[in-house]
Structure 1
């Protein structure tokens, strides 16, 4: 019951219900009573949940606000946050590598001098490679032997993340000497505000703080190995202010598109943009990224970044069309 005694579902001012979970809403609630007088507070943000335990909304601050459903006085869905053009933040390639690492944190981390050994049961190279930034505190040959042994003990191949400048100047030559194989990855950036204004059908997208079974069902990198799946869940839910986007299928069926975002201060790091085969070339990837971009802008971010394998021509073409440009290229070197 609301403070007026009228059931929430029957109040004309309440134009949202549980089906709107994941959308941006504006709500008015009774935050407290001073004597017999209710004190009202307005709140705009993502409707995170609505169940028997109450209603939760995530405002711009990113911290969830939960209140009893009977304190809801009014509510409606509202458009995406009107992201404004701002001067995009600057970041060096070295800084972007560290931002990317925070947005996709490994399950296990161990320092090797200034390097960081990272492992996550083999789930993605970013979370299962040594970030070779700075001095390992050992001669390079000995450091690479240590890397190889550390990953071998976990049943994993040894990968070294190599970036110039950032990695030791002689690292590439040492890797060449021992016969390492290289795989290039592009780091791409874009202003956030223009991206937030793209796409259509934004109301179809639902946002969540967690990746549920339906979201995971479309994520291609998950395998049937329980250890890998558990590591994947830890990795994708790690990082600062993580959001998951889903475009539900008809009648609540399998999702048509998904995406992931981690907001790290001024930067919005995108990943896991997937579209079901039967829904490709319909603009859903753009729409998902636009909704995530608007949420990142609401939290204060001004620029977008992502990583894409250099041979993924389809994804690169998509990101070209969304205004992304290449900041730098780094390499995963697989130790023999």
Structure 2
């Protein structure tokens, strides 16, 4: 059985007996609007914006842990050579996470020059299974800041307060890693729009890092969606990032989130690459 990885990251199995010929096809150069970016540059910027509580190098890979809060902060980031044969590196990853009583995850990427199609195929062969995929999108920052949106009701803060967390839906039980992870990054801003009670109507997070502004945790009260609140939050954050010298924007959106993808299409965001989290499938 031969495993083929498409540029989206999807794997397809084909019986060897039906295979006539084949070759490895490198990713095509991306055609997109907005800023140019290499995969390594963007991968490192996104990692700096969502940092773990604990990390350890494995060659040029990074093992990351944050008490299980999000896959991004609890997965190995393989940006280069692990310094070991891949099977041995995968064993080391499994042991590292087992010692912390966490599932073993590896984050890979596909669809751009320098991404990790071959590593994804190797993970599939060695018993790892992909659990979730997302798009990494980029755009010029100035058009987002120039959107015709009234930002007078948006509060920007360096501080992550309890009200903001009450709107944030990405964790259930209290976790000591939530605040350190959300507060990590070169220049972090939290945005909120007041609601009718103690829970904000909308929130967002932005990390400014050199030319990049990364947008995360944009959430709106379900009863108030489709009223422009997400756009308002992102516009306010974009203007702050522009003031700090950023010129390009990135964000991550799960591939099945059609509503968010449509919103970001309208703002000029285009797909740069896809990322995937593989989990070790214990026997």
What is residue 107 of structure 2 aligned with on the other side?
161
1:244 aligns with 2:193: no
Once residues 150 and 222 of structure 1 are traced to their aligned partners in structure 2, the CA distance between those partners, rounded to angstroms, is: 23
Once residues 219 and 168 of structure 1 are traced to their aligned partners in structure 2, the CA distance between those partners, rounded to angstroms, is: 31
Task: In structure 1, list runs of 5 or more residues that go unmatched.
Answer: 1-86
Deviation string 1:136-160 (CA, Å, 9 cap, x unpaired) is 0111111101101111111211111
Superposition deviation, residue 315 in structure 1: 1.3
The count of corresponding residues between Structure 1 and Structure 2 is 246
Once residues 229 and 118 of structure 2 are traced to their aligned partners in structure 1, the CA distance between those partners, rounded to angstroms, is: 44
1:204 aligns with 2:153: yes
Q: Secondary structure at the match of 2:274?
A: strand
**Higher-Rg member (1/2):** 1
Q: Secondary structure at the match of 1:186?
A: strand
Deviation string 1:183-237 (CA, Å, 9 cap, x unpaired) is 2221001111110122522100000001100000000012223xx2x20100010
- Asked whether the equivalents of residues 132 and 167 of structure 1 are also in contact (C-alpha less than 8 Å), the reply is no
- Asked whether the equivalents of residues 34 and 138 of structure 2 are also in contact (C-alpha less than 8 Å), the reply is no
Once residues 226 and 80 of structure 2 are traced to their aligned partners in structure 1, the CA distance between those partners, rounded to angstroms, is: 42
State how 1:114-129 maps to structure 2 within 5 Å: 114-129=60-75
Once residues 216 and 245 of structure 2 are traced to their aligned partners in structure 1, the CA distance between those partners, rounded to angstroms, is: 19
Q: For 1:284, which of 229, 240, 253 is the aligned residue?
A: 229
Superposition deviation, residue 173 in structure 1: 2.9
The runs of 4+ residues in structure 1 deviating greater than 6 Å are: none
- Asked whether the equivalents of residues 134 and 166 of structure 1 are also in contact (C-alpha less than 8 Å), the reply is no
Superposition deviation, residue 257 in structure 1: 0.2
Q: For 1:174, which of 122, 128, 133 is the aligned residue?
A: 122
1:268 aligns with 2:216: no
Once residues 204 and 169 of structure 1 are traced to their aligned partners in structure 2, the CA distance between those partners, rounded to angstroms, is: 44
Give me the TM-score of the superposition, normalised by structure 1.
0.70
What is residue 42 of structure 2 aligned with on the other side?
96
1:184 aligns with 2:133: yes
Q: For 1:314, which of 259, 262, 265 is the aligned residue?
A: 259
Deviation string 1:75-126 (CA, Å, 9 cap, x unpaired) is xxxxxxxxxxxx9653212211110000111111100011000011111111
Superposition deviation, residue 312 in structure 1: 1.6
- Asked whether the equivalents of residues 133 and 167 of structure 1 are also in contact (C-alpha less than 8 Å), the reply is no
Q: For 1:296, which of 241, 244, 253 is the aligned residue?
A: 241
Give me the TM-score of the superposition, normalised by structure 2.
0.83
Superposition deviation, residue 302 in structure 1: 0.4
Superposition deviation, residue 264 in structure 1: 0.3
Q: Does 1 or 2 have the higher relative contact order (CA < 8 Å, sep 6+)?
A: 2
